[in-house]
Structure 1
Amino acid sequence: MIDTLNLVHDLRKRREKRAKEKLWAWSRTTALAGREGRRAAAGIEGPQATPKGLRHGYGVAAIGATVPLNMLSKWIGHAAIETTAIYANGLGEKQRSIAERMWS
């Protein structure tokens, strides 16, 4: 993998010039440190203001936009489509609307 990264980013030459610098400027903690400001700017509060909450919100929004389960499953990295199908259960109003169409 390092050979592939070296081909793309020329890492070995970069290391010679900047031996004391980190190889990657961003880390998981760097990304998490800036999330509070981004979260506040986006107006996201409460339980959905976590990585898990954001992922779930994305899944529910995709289902609401009629993204096929197989595509959404790939996009959010689920190994089993049954896991992705859980997001479809989060749409109470949508379920009522479908049931009303079925019986009208």
Structure 2
Amino acid sequence: MKELDIHSVTVNKWKAASASKTKVEQRPNLLKQDFSTTGLNQKWTADMTCIQTKRNGWCYLSTIMDLHSRRIIGYSFSKKMATDLVLKTLESAVKN
């Protein structure tokens, strides 16, 4: 490997984010596992996914899906997991 200047790809293990020191306010479960709809924009779901890239390390994809059409109606991609990422996703969904 040294003669051919070949290097192995090493992957760092994922580390969980440290717990926030601020208290999280409990919210009621409005859907209660009822995902049925009769029209567009009645119920949306959101998700954030961690994606490891070679160039930028861990990146984050935030999405919002309309439950009626099952289509992604808003998304945002960022190198940082921050409130701004979620707000951009919501703005994208509202515009669509």
Give the number of the structure whose alpha-carbon radius of gyration is greater: 1
Give the structure-2-normalised TM-score: 0.21
Higher share in strand: 2
Q: Which has the higher contact order (CA 8 A, sep 6+)?
A: 2
Q: When you count helix as a share of all residues, which structure comes out higher?
A: 1
